[in-house]
Structure 1
Amino acid sequence: MKAAFFDTTGAPDVIRVGDLQTPEPKGDEVRVRVLAASINPIDTYIRSGAAPMPLPKPAITGTDFAGVVDAVGPDVKYFRAGDRVWGSNQGLLGRQGTCAEFVCVEEKWAYHTPNGVADDQAAACALVGITAHLGLFQRAKLTQRLPDMGRQETVFVNGGTGGVGSMVVQMAKAAGTKVICTVGSDEKARLATELGADCVVNYKTDDVAARVKDATAGAGIDVWFETVPPTDFDRTVDLMAPRGRIVVMAGRAARPVLPNGPFYVKGLSLVGFAMFNMTAGEQVACAENINRWLSEGKLRALIGARFPLARTADAHTLQEENTLRKSGTLTGKIVILPAA
């Protein structure tokens, strides 16, 4: 089979595309003919060595996938050949990645793809959708209303058109809450509004604190979802509602100061998580809602670029230019199409 792989960590040019042995499913594995994969920042961190992990040699890159089951291991219970599936959690913690014509996946990490949902959408929603769902519902315990206060909960997300941020906006709206987000351009503001954001703040031109206070009528934010490395907890804590929850899931090297006094007086919570450390059982609940919202048209991925398998290194370069160097040349996810 054709695959995009690397033998040593380093810059994007360590990725080669060539022939590898087609894997055979063992135990509870399903073999998926990959029709779409997607690139995430974690894929570039693993490839570069910034996020050290056990890796097979050679290591196929890619975390997310969507495609068709073409063979199953002897212990598989829930899938059969011909099933359309999607999933994530590959290409890390010793598992082979998804930027290949085939990938073998333990069935606990695979989910049925709903009828009418395109493979590129399923793949592009995978890691970012599961991450957003875990942060909102498993970690922050998002609810529709605050009975004691007689109002909707309000969710704030930095980067409302980013991979995770766009999922947070849509999921929070699907759950019946008010959503405020930041963006960096008028075009992204339009996109965020289309996704359902009630208030969109341009962090380059607007006074973010003033806009948030105005949008919440001074009540503050109930769930602050931080998709970028946090730098100013003083501002965040000041804008939080009593008993609010702050979610962090990025910024390995970030060391922001926490204003202890106002933090505990407001009764706030600070929760963090890494999606790939969450159990399969925790993640399957996310997949069930993602499938329902995809089917209902309440959730969609913003896809900013598509590449054939032969250009996987270029896809990594584009991801790094935007994640690390903030070039602003990408809005949405990068999809790899192995059959293109």
Structure 2
Amino acid sequence: MRAVVFDQFGAPDVLHVATIDRPEPAADEVLVKVKAVAVNHVDTFIRSGGFRTNLATPHVAGRDLVGTVVAVGEHVQSWQVGDAVWANSLGYDGRMGATAEYVVVPAERAYPLPAGIDPIQLVASVHSAATATIVLQSVMQAQAGQRLLIEGAAGNVGRKLIQLGHQRGLTVVTTSAPRDFERCQALGSTQTVNYAAGFESHFQLADQRFDHIIDTSGKVALATNLGLLKQGGQVTLITAPKTNQFTFPVRQFYTRQQRISGFVISHATQDQLATAAQWLNHAFAAGLLLDDQVSVQPFEAAAACHAQLEQGQDHGQRLVLVPSK
């Protein structure tokens, strides 16, 4: 069968399509015939060696897939041949990667594809949507009625946070470019503010404070966000500034009992991923989270897709690979 593999860490051109043996499912695995695979920034980190983890051999790229179960291990009772499934935790911690014609998936890491949902749109969404879900549920432990500020809200994760936060009963406020105001409002933002430098003065003048703040871009100073938090409020980091440095007033931070949390989806537990999948499937079935612009390309374009992501030339599109275009 054909798969996108890399034999060593390096630049995007280490990726190539190779013929490898079709795997057989272990007792607790299912074999999935792959329909489509998303390409994520984290895939570039693994390919380059920037994120070190145990890799299966051969090193098949990719973590998110959608497809159909074609065989089940002897201990698997939760799936049957013909079931449509998706998965979003492959290609690291010793699990086979997703970008192959057939992939073995641990049965407990496969989730049902809701009926009537476009599988391409779903696989394009799940990485950012799962990140948003786990941040809201497990990291923020956000509650209905709380105020959430999403900075850079027009991006992939930001749009998911708007929809899921609104669905959970939070008051969602967003910063973005003015051209994205209407879109953010349509997704559930109750207030939109230009993210240009000095945006915080808008909230300070109105004496607005927030229970939770998340900067999806890494471009807002930590001190600025701490100044916009309520007592006991929380800033969540899912990226870092290019300088890899923040400064902030420590006394103000601890006397106001504020918190700073970080989240990387590669460290999400199996339970967190499974709980998030239930929430996501509920949202997908309701027509939410499926608004990404998608570019569908063949497996042979994997190296080019990785280069696009690393160079910031994906133009806001989600990149999806298919076994044949």
TM range (shorter): over 0.9
Query: For each residue in 1:111-149, what CA deviation from the matched residue of structure 2 results, as whole angstroms up to 9, or x when unmatched?
Result: 11111111112212222221111111111111112xxxx
Percent identical: 28
CA distance in 2, matches of 1:292, 1:9: 38
Q: Output aligned runs, 1:172-211, within 5 Å.
A: 172-184=165-177, 186=179, 188-204=180-196, 207-211=198-202
Partner of 1:77: 77
Unaligned runs of 5+ in 1: 146-152
- Aligned pair count? 324
Partner of 1:284: 274
Q: CA deviation at 1:185?
A: 6.2
Check whether the contact 1:135–1:225 (CA below 8 A) recurs between aligned residues: no
Task: Identify which of 270, 274, 284 aligns with 2:260.
Answer: 270
Partner of 1:316: 306
2:98 equivalent to 1:106: no
Partner of 1:259: 249
Report the CA distance shift for 1:18/1:134 in structure 2 as closer, same or farther (over 3 A): same
2:213 equivalent to 1:224: yes
Partner of 2:318: 333
Partner of 2:287: 297
CA distance in 2, matches of 1:191, 1:36: 27
CA distance in 2, matches of 1:185, 1:39: 28
Q: CA deviation at 1:57?
A: 3.4
Check whether the contact 2:56–2:91 (CA below 8 A) recurs between aligned residues: no
Which letter maps to 1:175?
R
Query: For each residue in 1:147-178, what CA deviation from the matched residue of structure 2 results, as whole angstroms up to 9, or x when unmatched?
Result: xxxxxx22122222322222111110111212
Check whether the contact 1:41–1:319 (CA below 8 A) recurs between aligned residues: yes
Q: CA deviation at 1:72?
A: 0.8
Task: Identify which of 243, 256, 260 aligns with 2:232.
Answer: 243
CA distance in 1, matches of 2:122, 2:294: 15
CA distance in 1, matches of 2:212, 2:39: 27
Local SS of the residue matching 2:153:
coil
Which letter maps to 1:310?
E
Q: CA deviation at 1:334?
A: 1.6
Check whether the contact 2:149–2:172 (CA below 8 A) recurs between aligned residues: yes
* TM-score normalized with structure 1 length: 0.89
Query: For each residue in 1:25-58, what CA deviation from the matched residue of structure 2 results, as whole angstroms up to 9, or x when unmatched?
Result: 1121111111111111110011111112222333
* TM-score normalized with structure 2 length: 0.93
Question: Displaced runs of 4+ in structure 1, greater than 3 A?
Answer: 188-191, 211-214, 228-231
Task: Identify which of 160, 164, 168 aligns with 1:171.
Answer: 164
Unaligned runs of 5+ in 2: none
Which letter maps to 2:321?
I
CA distance in 1, matches of 2:75, 2:167: 36
Query: For each residue in 1:240-267, what CA deviation from the matched residue of structure 2 results, as whole angstroms up to 9, or x when unmatched?
Result: 1222111112239723123211212222
Query: For each residue in 1:283-337, what CA deviation from the matched residue of structure 2 results, as whole angstroms up to 9, or x when unmatched?
Result: 2111111101111123324134222111111111111112xxxx5x521422112
CA distance in 2, matches of 1:190, 1:219: 22
Partner of 1:95: 95
Query: For each residue in 1:62-120, what CA deviation from the matched residue of structure 2 results, as whole angstroms up to 9, or x when unmatched?
Result: 11111111111111121111111112111112222111111111011111111111111
